[in-house]
Structure 1
Amino acid sequence: MNQLQATWYLLYCKAGQEARAQLHLANQAYASYCPYICVERINKGKLRHKQEALFPNYLFVQLNEESNFNAVRSTRGVIDFVKVGRNYQVVADGMIAQIKSSEYAHSQPTIEQVYQPGMKVAVQQGAFQSLEAIYQRADGLERSVILVRLLNQQASLVVNNRDICLAC
């Protein structure tokens, strides 16, 4: 029995409808893949974690020579295949495997996962460079509140997260 070689193709989807296209492709028994990444967003003053498509509006679909390309192109949520000239864009199996293996490696840990209140941190940049401090809390997406000792008094400072690191 001769088994047909399946190839990955790239689809262009309607805005925000990658999941809808994936569902309808699955109903037609086609394998598809849309890598997601966890991102942090501030919504109504609160930090929220949300899953978003790594490549918005794009979806990978696995088809073989006997697949109905017109049915795939007419699937709900799909606009068309991505083309190079007249040919459909083919994606190498190795590329899909690499994206799958590193899908979650690209999501960065949140500041709350790295630093806990009371941990010693060191200021790496800015006017307070090389001072040791105590981490207090996160202040939004890009800043943290730290406690430093200046002139025998403790003072709270708001610093950029890139400017601090764990103290040795």
Structure 2
Amino acid sequence: MKNFTNGWYVIYTQSRYEKKVCDSLESLNIQFFLPVTKKLKIWSDRKKYVDTPLFPSYVFIYLNDKMDLFRAQNITGVLSYVRMGKEPVKVCENVIMDLKLVLKNETDIEVSDMYFKPGQKINIQQGPLKGLSCEIIQIMGRKKMLVRGGVIERNIIIPYIQDHYIYSN
């Protein structure tokens, strides 16, 4: 990597290794963000809500220097960095902040890898999602709010509730 800049990046992990990778990152004092949501799992004898990664096999990490880049890459379960060409792709700080805000305040979250035409861009000024930048889109005749996931090409879709928020374009 020629021109390293510190910031958020995305690593791609082996299937179901996200939490193990996060434990290893924590032991190396590398900041990470693993977006999770609660899902109802049903077995033959019980039901239980479990934390499930919102984006399976992806973990966001904050790299301070090239040394962090190499240390994280050598963790068991890490397959690669998400790259554009040969360079790891840096994730905009706003994407991380928007994801954290949505996960903190919403329970009815959908993740989609479908392409959505650009919608009306809004910034929420008041309410529980204050500070969120998103788009208003139509899905099956209903308005929804869309948060684009950036380099991982996944989108978060949440219900649109006009009365709870004050918007600005």
Structure 1 runs (4+) deviating above 6 angstroms are none
User: Which amino acid counterpart does residue 9 of structure 1 have in structure 2?
Assistant: Y
What's the C-alpha RMSD, in Å, of the aligned pairs?
A: 2.2
Alpha-carbon deviations, 1:1-60, whole Å to 9, x = none? Answer: xxx963000000111111111111111111011011001122115332111000010000
TM-score (norm 1): 0.57
Matched AA of 1:7: G
Alpha-carbon distance between aligned partners in 1 of 2:20 and 2:45, rounded to the nearest angstrom: 30
In the other structure, the counterpart of 1:59 is: 59
Structure with higher Rg: it is 1
| 1:82 and 2:82 aligned | yes
Q: Could you tell me whether the CA contact under 8 Å between 1:37 and 1:104 is conserved in 2?
A: no
Report the count of equivalent residues. Answer: 106
Q: Show structure 1 runs of 5+ residues with no match.
A: 110-168
Deviations 1:50-88 (A, max 9, x none): 110000100001002343422211112211111111110
State whether residues 37 and 106 of structure 1, in contact with CA within 8 Å, keep that contact through their aligned partners in structure 2. no
Identity %: 20
Match of 1:95 in 2: 95
Match of 2:22 in 1: 22
Gaps of 5+ in 2: 110-169
